[in-house]
Homo-oligomer: A and B are copies of this chain.
Amino acid sequence: MSNPSSPELVSGVASLRDRLAAVRGQRGRIGLVPTMGALHEGHLSLVRASKSECDCTVVSIFVNPSQFGPGEDFQRYPRTLQADLDALAGCGAELVFAPAGEDVYRPGHATWVEPGGVAEPLEGRCRPGHFRGVATVVLKLLNMVAPDVAYFGQKDYQQATVVRHMVEDLDVPTQIRVCPIVREPDGLAMSSRNAYLSPAARARSLVLWQSLQLAATLVDEGERGAETIVRQMRQRILTAEDARIDYVALVDPESLEPVEEIVGRTLAVLAVKIENTRLIDNCLLQPPGPRAPVA
């Protein structure tokens, strides 16, 4: 690890832009890692990806109120700025942009980015308005930072898909990179919300990863029926006594529309509440053997 030095902490958009204009003036490539803080190895893998191809990496830390629904965990979402700065020092991020809420949504804010299509199923159905909030804040951050590349984690697969479509539809001149899920040694996908889990619930939460592995095994063994695979995934999840399933689905990885039969790369995706903590996870399934011939 290189000698860690703390990233520069910037909270105002004007000073952020000044700082980045200097980078851009030297034809430096700018990478953005948008986060809500409470950083874990998943976030840090995004920072490392940015460091590997950009001259200046900006990590934004902003718990975005507009992507939380009523009754969701906006208030108690973990806010751990000093620990985040320490973690980022170890990765060499140059800038941390941590704006105040009132500087992001100023009085009179009334313009929203409404993503359709891929934003509608799955999370979109369970969390109305969630992706409107995500798309709006991501577009704002992209406009504040004007990065060459922005990095998102595959753990929030649908979010990354919504962002990719938004950037394409609105001609935002930023490349979007989606980086692999980082898991705990026992398979649980890293998430800032894992901190909510009691030790017993943390143990029960393994059913998410187990059900995804089960799906992969079934596909490897030749099962192609989505209904069969989903049924078995649900059974595995429900072995955790308090598990409440929001959805378990096999979908096309581009359109996010449900598939009936696994004929190519397919996304297994789920959202489950364990002990009132809502967890999401996903896994790309690839049936083995030669691809189906192109018609």
Contacts and interface: CB of A to CB of B under 8 A. Distances in A.
A138 B135 CA distance: 17
A110 B169 contact: yes
A212 to B, nearest CB: 28
Given A110-B116, A110-B165, A143-B172, 13 more contacts: A13-B171, A108-B117, A110-B115, A110-B117, A110-B118, A110-B169, A111-B113, A111-B115, A111-B165, A111-B166, A113-B113, A139-B170, A143-B173
As for how many copies of this chain the complex holds, the number is: 2
Given A111-B115, A114-B112, A143 B165 contact: no
A170 B104 CA distance: 9
12 contacts: A13-B171, A17-B173, A106-B169, A110-B117, A110-B165, A111-B113, A111-B114, A111-B166, A112-B114, A112-B116, A143-B172, A143-B173
Contacts of A72: none
Interface string A180-192: 0000000000000
Interface in A135-162: 135-136, 139-140, 143-144, 146
Nearest to A108: B117
A260 interface: no
A220 interface: no
A109 interface: yes
Nearest to A13: B171
